[in-house]
Homo-oligomer: A and B are copies of this chain.
Amino acid sequence: MHNNRKVNFSCPSGFPEFLPGEKRLELYLLDTIRRVFERYGFTPIETPTVERLEVLQAKGNQGDNIIYGINPILPNVSETLVGSKKEERGLKFDQTVPLAAYIARHFHELTFPFARYQMDMVFRGERAKDGRYRQFRQCDIDVLGRGKLSLLYDAQIPAIIAEIFDEIKIGDFLIRINNRKILTGFFQSIGLVGDKIASSLRIIDGAEKMGIPKVQAALTGEGLSPEQVKKVLAFTSIGGAVDEVLAKLQDMAGDNSLMEEGIKELETVITGVRHLGVPEERFSVDLSIVRGLDYYTGTVYETTLIGNEALGSICSGGRYEGLVGTFVGEKIPGVGISIGLTRLMSRLLKGGILKSLSPTPTQVMVVNQSEDLIPLYLKVSQQLRQGGLNAVTNFDKRSLKKQLQQADRLGIPFCIIIGEMEASKSSCGLKDLRRGEQVEVSLQELVPEVLKRL
């Protein structure tokens, strides 16, 4: 056990780990997302990584996620799994089922509508392939109502998505909005019933990746007549400006009451989105958006990065009725979205759309020119920190050139150079590595001088 040369210390497959510059980027993204969530009044919660298996499986293994079970391993009984069968537990695979449990656990301590955000790690025992991870961070918001929830909460969602991706600056994106009732009602109106509606919805959900011929074949395979297939394809390809799509829907609204309800909801949502000032180019009505998961019942959203559609949806969600109230036995409708941050970030990094930050938050390096001056270096470093700057002191004495090179390699923008001469004058050399210039500054003026150039 102590012959460490034989230990395979690599990351377990599918469990990602970032270099400091990447982790710093993740923290920047998390901070940005969190700030927007809080701006809309969402409050943070965090549920345990571990839940009872019966909770995790209460809604079935959504999306065929494989749950990781956990079992304590007794120390010194290497490689033996000893589990009590009394309480089987596993790692959470999403944040929606745990949210339902959280609501049940704290039902009388919470105020509704309850708007929460959550940015925890989730775990899925899938085969690690195709950029899929077994551990990743999801950034979720949901707002939940007791018995009812205004559609205007659905309208806020695109405003929040737009604000986040505008702040992150990843280029143009399109929030595609639909309402499941429209498509379901449309399927009813052309004579589909029961399972055929569900399977047709699933086919439309995958249509973008499949292409029209395959969709045609799949729908036919489900038993739809050529006439029905034609109608479905015509319907889901209705496109154009938001108002044009809404007008076309209006013309069809009388055909089916569910469809009519869906269209009314969609109009309310779009009106709200406009009142919230979301730019017109940021959203569309897209009748082909379904969302795979079964639990959505109304508004659904996907977000596409324009020019990088192959990334898939970078932020999705929708409205659901029956999910969160499960454990309390009450109707708690909700609407929410999820950003799969780990996957999104690693794909944006790979695609060159985002860049790692520098590998350290340090803004100023106090260079070591003389062991005798270390007390002064420590004092100056503290002065910089008290001024709100991130600073390091070099304790190892090396050539000035090497120290500056190190700062440069780490992306540290400033170096403070103090030799005997500067020390005697209570001044220092302030080297600005980005501009390649150096000025002499009195130690008293140091903090404002650095802040000015930052």
> Could you tell me which A residues sit within 8 Å of B by CB distance?
1-2, 4-5, 7-13, 15-20, 23-24, 26-27, 38-55, 57-61, 64-76, 78-79, 81, 83, 87-91, 100-102, 104-106, 109-111, 113, 115-116, 121, 123, 125, 134-135, 150, 152-153, 155, 159, 272, 275-277, 326-327, 329, 359-362, 374-375, 378-379, 381-382, 385, 388-393, 395-396, 406, 409-410
Contact = CB atoms under 8 A, between A and B. Distances in A.
A396 B75 contact: no
Nearest to A27: B44
B19 A73 contact: no
A157 to B, nearest CB: 13
A121 B12 contact: no
Contacts of A393: 152
Contacts of A2: 58-60
Nearest to A271: B375
B72 A70 contact: no
Contacts of A385: 39-40
Contacts of A275: 374-375, 378-379
B41 A361 contact: yes
Contacts of A272: 378
Given A105-B17, A111-B409, A12 B50 contact: yes
Contacts of A388: 39
Contacts of A390: 38-41
Contact of A49 (B8, B88, B123, B389): B123
Q: How many copies does the complex hold?
A: 2
A78 B166 CA distance: 44
A417 to B, nearest CB: 17
B74 A71 contact: no
A152 B20 contact: no
A136 to B, nearest CB: 10
Contact of A20 (B65, B105, B116, B409): B116
Identify the interface centre among A15, A75, A392: most chain B CB within 10 Å of its CB: A75
Contact of A46 (B13, B23, B87): B23
22 contacts: A7-B52, A7-B326, A7-B327, A9-B105, A10-B52, A11-B105, A15-B48, A18-B45, A20-B44, A23-B43, A24-B44, A39-B390, A40-B392, A41-B390, A64-B75, A66-B75, A67-B75, A68-B72, A69-B81, A153-B395, A155-B378, A275-B379
A137 to B, nearest CB: 9
Given A39-B391, A375-B275, A61 B45 contact: no
A38 to B, nearest CB: 4
Nearest to A68: B70
Nearest to A16: B48
A378 B276 contact: yes
Contact of A54 (B7, B106, B391): B7
Contacts of A379: 275, 277
Contacts of A70: 68-71, 91
Contacts of A18: 45-46
